[in-house]
């Protein structure tokens, strides 16, 4: 069974990984709905879109209902929306941990829960999170983000078992640093806080990758295409790392 004609939702689909994945899915013949908070980047994708904040379960439910009305039952979700804030733990402002958990972990749970009835009714579904290598190992100065991404991996593993009998697979893609607007913001943050040059900041981020390069968005898109495919029907509760051997 291919994904041709299947309706797939991509959150954070207006930029970076989400945009590349949404375009790859559309090129493969899927019916795609992209979601995010800003209309401009969503509209630029030239695909169906719904505006929603993934941290708001009611807004997510409304967006999924509207997407379903427009393009039919939702049989795949790429829970990709996320954000990364950096701060030494001792200086972490009140609210940062809650914010990171809210968008990176609860946001994933909200969109997966919204898609569950359609998948159960079809007896077929694919839930995919774009987690991170930060879901599998620690990194200094991003403790809240790392905690949230570890939570996504836990959610993935538990839900995979819970839904295994329903024809639904649940998996996480765990990339290292990817060349996206999020990476550009991380580099700018390092430059601002340390006075490092941009080239040195980029070198500091790439050093953990044994291949010494940033992951490209099309690599994540291809991994998502595989996990969505019927060929991946036995891949369940898996963390697919894209990190050049870092993990």
Pairing type for strands 7-11 and 74-79 reads: parallel
* Rounded Cα distance, 217 and 175, in Å: 10
x/- map, 153-192, ligand NAP, by CB under 6 A = ----------------------x-xx-xxxx---------
Q: The tokens of 81 are what?
A: 């929306």
CB count in 10 Å sphere of residue 70: 13
* Rounded Cα distance, 32 and 168, in Å: 19
DSSP state of 75: E
Min separation Cβ 208 and ligand NAP, Å: 12
Min separation Cβ 188 and ligand NAP, Å: 13
Active-site annotation, residues? 145
If one asks whether residue 213 binds ligand NAP (CB under 6 A), the answer comes out as no
Min separation Cβ 209 and ligand NAP, Å: 11
Taking the least distance from each CB to ligand NAP, the nearer of 18 and 125 is 18
Q: Of 10-18, 21-29, 194-202, 221-229, which part binds ligand NAP (CB under 6 A)?
A: 10-18
**Closest to 72 measured CA to CA, from 19, 3, 118:** 118
Kindly report the length of the chain: 247
* Rounded Cα distance, 126 and 27, in Å: 18
Q: Of 34-42, 115-123, 160-168, 232-240, which part binds ligand NAP (CB under 6 A)?
A: 34-42
> Look-up: residue for tokens 């990364």?
84
x/- map, 62-101, ligand NAP, by CB under 6 A = ------------------xxxxx-----------------
Instruction: Give me the helices (H) in the chain, please.
Output: 16-27, 39-44, 57-71, 96-101, 107-122, 143-162, 181-194, 198-206, 217-228
If one asks whether residue 125 binds ligand NAP (CB under 6 A), the answer comes out as no
Give me the residues that bind ligand NAP (CB under 6 A), please: 11-12, 14-18, 36-38, 41, 53-55, 80-84, 103, 107, 130, 132, 175, 177-178, 180-183
């Amino acid at each position: 069974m291919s994904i041709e004609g299947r309706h797939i939702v991509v959150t954070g689909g207006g930029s970076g990984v989400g945009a590349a994945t949404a375009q790859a899915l559309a090129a493969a013949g899927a019916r795609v709905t992209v979601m995010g908070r800003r209309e401009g980047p969503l509209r630029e994708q030239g695909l169906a879109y719904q505006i929603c904040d993934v941290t708001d379960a009611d807004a997510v439910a409304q967006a999924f209902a509207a997407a379903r009305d427009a393009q039919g039952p939702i049989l795949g979700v790429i829970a990709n929306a996320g954000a990364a804030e950096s701060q030494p733990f001792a200086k972490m402002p009140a609210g940062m941990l809650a914010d990171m958990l809210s968008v990176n972990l609860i946001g994933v749970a909200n969109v997966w829960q919204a898609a569950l009835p359609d998948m159960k009714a079809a007896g077929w579904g694919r839930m995919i999170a774009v987690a991170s290598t930060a879901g599998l190992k620690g990194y200094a100065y991003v403790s809240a983000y790392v905690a949230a991404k570890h939570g996504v991996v836990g959610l993935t593993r538990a839900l995979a078992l819970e839904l295994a009998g329903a024809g639904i697979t649940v998996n996480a893609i765990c990339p290292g640093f990817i060349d996206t607007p999020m990476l550009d913001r991380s580099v700018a943050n390092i430059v601002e806080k340390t006075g490092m040059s941009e080239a040195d900041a980029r070198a500091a981020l790439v050093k953990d990758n044994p291949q010494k390069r940033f992951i490209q968005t099309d690599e994540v898109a291809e991994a998502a295409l595989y996990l969505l495919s019927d060929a991946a029907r036995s891949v369940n509760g898996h963390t697919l790392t894209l990190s050049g051997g870092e993990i």
